[in-house]
Structure 1
Amino acid sequence: MASDSTSLEKYLYELPEHRIAKHPLANRDDSKLLLYQAGQISHQTFKEVLDLVPNNALLFLNNTKVIAARLFFHKSTGAQIEVFLTEPILPHSEFQKALKAKNKCTWKCMIGNLKKWKDDNVLSLKLNDELEIKARLVDREQNLVEFSWAGNQEFLSIVEAAGHVPLPPYLNREEEEEDKDRYQTVFSELEGAVAAPTAGLHFTDDILDQLKTKGVKQDRVTLHVSAGTFRPIKDADFKNHDMHNERIIVNRDNIENILAAKGPIIPVGTTALRTLESLYWYGVKLSKNNSTKFFVEKNDPYESHLQDVLLEESMKAIMTKMDEDKVDELKGETEIFIYPGYEFKVANGLFTNFHMPASTLVLLVAAFVGDEWQKIYEEALNNNYRFLSYGDTSLLLPKG
């Protein structure tokens, strides 16, 4: 039974269907922006963001790139089988290497109509007269699918040619041409996400350039957003939720910039925030055990033996590890679960869209601003904000 403090019911709110943004606006920066600053709420447009971000702020952007992860195969009977790529297995478990695979690869997938796909039935998808991709179910329990094709093409080019944009399920529509560009940030670089870091969708190259001119420092981290981000919490006690695992990439510059920050550190989106906070906890674990693997578990932030390590100490532990291993980049995984009661270690502000009721992301926002999250969401609903991935956004600065 959930206690009052961990009851999911507290984080429900009514979201009318018509408030869910089904399409992007004509221009990225046409969106509304709700500013929450030291307890006060004001309503702006995203174009005014230049006046809202402190001059000495450090923004962290998630440069992951969404892949066309939805592949549709048809059986000879006409039945459609949807194969949704979620995690590379062979020949590499790293996205960048897996997407360079030639001739054959195996991925963990979500499969629609799985019951109609018999183990000995090889599905095929013809891309053109010369190229055909075949799919074979190699492990029904694990949903592992082996893809094979002739020729010298990398798997990424196959996916780009055959795949479809993995729009969030709550949009309840098929992809349209505009989604190929608009469900991608202008600063996306590294393929591997199956959902966009949506707070970044509002930024344009021009706004990023103007922020830089103003003195706002910018840095990039990578978290490959997984389909688990849409997984609903089913337990009345949210602490029992089985948190999804996502892959992150950070580098030496990230750590040096955190240590040198003179103003607020503001991640653009919950994914960038999860990356930064995970980085801190990895440093804490390293400070206790220098051989610790870069994997931040769901409950690490709540373990008493990992408390009371300063941010500087944590970052320096990571730098020491990088020096010893003679590397400038670290690849790890995180299933960090941020909910009310969490003490933020790196982030002082947050850009974020408006999220699904009783979701892990609403819990994260509630952890960041406390019970004020209810006032923020009520204000957004009362002022006709558009919600979810293609919706409007907010800038949260709890301490001003």
Structure 2
Amino acid sequence: MKLSKFKFELPDELLAEYPAEHRDESRLMVLNRKEKTIEHKTFKDLINYFDEGDLFILNNTKVFPARMYGEKEKTGARIEVFLLRELNAESRLWDVLVDPARKIRIGNKLFFGEDESLVAEVIDNTTSRGRTLRFLYDGSYEEFRQKLQELGETPLPKYIQREVEESDAERYQTIYAKHEGAVAAPTAGMHFSKHLMKRLEIKGVDFAEVTLHVGLGTFSPVEVEDLSKHKMDSEKAIITKEASKNVNSAISKKKRVCAVGTTVMRAVESSVSSNGRLNEFDGWTNKFIFPPYDFSIANCMITNFHTPKSTLMMMVAAFAGYDFLMEAYEEAVKENYKFYSYGDAMLII
């Protein structure tokens, strides 16, 4: 599979700047792989495709406000700092991206907040990810984390050109988010409303939760034509014993097992036993799925519409079938479906 096979014309106006007014009222394109049919529905119609004993696998990671703005000492230049991951809680060391990067060198200090109560010092700029900062703060660790919450803003993807609004803190997050650690949302799950989940539960549909803390690597462009040479960033994943038991039970009963999003699919495919069952897992995964690929756990998936040449689109092509997916994307552009993080959804059965 070559990178150039995932190119298609995506008009700018189809990139969703805002989510649908109600979570479960975004549009839903339903792809039936066996019948090769495409249906146009609303997300809440999802319930009609699932029965008692079917199971959804959800990613319960929680997005933290990872984007901060600081001022460089002496010059006062405004610097964007994007928190990627905590390296050491005790030393308050973080992996970050800085923008503009050319202005930041080892030893530089950055000041945050109107009262400049939070200071960071650049201690390394050789990491592949950007910079390492040490935060200097007088309070306890809990107070420090609280300060990051106060000063940070919701890390909407860069393609969204508007200012971050108050509602984004809630909408750029699933309703079942629990474990903080993602810098990007598992967007397929954002279409689920409390009402829809209740209706699914009443119908006897089950849920299993896994955690995959989405990193910025999700958005990293693929820069090699031969896909087998692309390396994914590692992301932290946790699959509990209980989750694996529930998933394996549904597989054994030949029920629908639906991965809600590419992040779930990557997590579960990173921990498969030799007999095609889900193992518990606590570690890092850099699994890159592209066609052709044999999936072991989920037999259906929910996903958003992805941008050209993205690793997310490649995974979905592996699941739906390359030709069928390209046909569906052509239809999505023609029918003005909204793409990307705040966009519409696709159910592949």
TM-score range, shorter chain: over 0.9
Asked whether the equivalents of residues 126 and 133 of structure 1 are also in contact (C-alpha less than 8 Å), the reply is yes
Residue 24 of structure 1: which of 19, 22, 25 is its match?
19
How far apart are the structure 2 equivalents of 1:379 and 1:120? Answer: 53
**Larger fraction in helix:** 1
After superposition, where does 1:1-400 map in structure 2 within 5 Å?
6-37=1-32, 38=34, 39-75=36-72, 76-91=74-89, 104-126=91-113, 132-142=117-127, 143-152=131-140, 154=142, 155-261=144-250, 262=253, 263-280=255-272, 283=273, 309-312=274-277, 315=278, 318=279, 330-370=281-321, 371-397=323-349
SS of residue in 1 equivalent to 2:69: strand
Contact in 2 for aligned 1:55/1:216 (Cα 8 Å)? yes
Q: Please, which runs of 5 or more residues in structure 1 have no aligned partner?
A: 1-5, 92-100, 284-308, 320-329
Report if aligned partners of 1:127, 1:162 keep a CA contact under 8 Å in 2: no
- DSSP 3-state at the match of 1:381: helix
Q: Which runs of 5+ in 2 are unaligned?
A: none
Q: Secondary structure at the match of 1:146?
A: strand
| Aligned mates of 2:177, 2:112 — CA distance in 1 | 28
- 1:255, distance to aligned residue in structure 2 (A): 1.4
- Per-residue Cα deviation, 1:38-59 (whole angstroms, up to 9, x for no partner): 3111110012121122333110
Q: Scaled by the length of structure 2, what TM-score is found?
A: 0.93
Cα distance, 1:127 vs structure 2: 5.4
CA distance in 2, matches of 1:8, 1:126: 43
SS in 1 for 2:140: coil
Amino acid at match of 1:40: T
Render the CA deviation track for 1:26-69: whole Å, top value 9, x for unaligned.
11112000011231111100121211223331100100000101
- Runs of 4+ aligned structure 1 residues displaced above 4 Å come to none
Task: Give 1:173 shift.
Answer: 3.0
Given residue 255 of structure 1, which amino acid in structure 2 is its aligned partner?
S
CA deviations on 1:47-101 (whole Å, 9 max, x unpaired) are: 212112233311001000001011111124231111111121113xxxxxxxxx6
| Residues 247-294 of structure 1 deviation map (CA, whole Å, 9 limit, x = unaligned) | 0011111111122112011011010111111121xx4xxxxxxxxxxx
Query: Could you tell me how far apart the structure 1 residues matched to 2:239 and 2:152 are?
Result: 28
Q: Which amino acid aligns with 2:113?
A: K
Q: Deviations over 1:109-166 (max 9, x none)?
A: 11112332243332211355xx711100011112111012112352431221000111
**Per-residue CA distance 1:215-244 (angstroms, 9 max, x = gap):** 111011000000010001111112211211
Question: Could you say what secondary structure the match of 1:158 adopts?
Answer: helix
SS in 2 for 1:195: coil
User: How far is 1:174 from its partner?
Assistant: 2.9
TM-score by length of 1: 0.81
Instruction: Tell me the distance in 2 between the aligned counterparts of 1:141 and 1:77.
Output: 23
What amino acid sits opposite 2:76 in the alignment?
A: G
Q: In structure 2, do the counterparts of structure 1 residues 112 and 31 end up closer, same or farther at CA, with 3 Å as the change threshold? A: same
Contact 1:67–1:159, Cα closer than 8 Å, also in 2 = no
> Matched residue pairs, number?
338
SS of aligned partner of 2:84:
strand
Q: Give distance in 2, aligned partners of 1:127 and 1:165.
A: 19
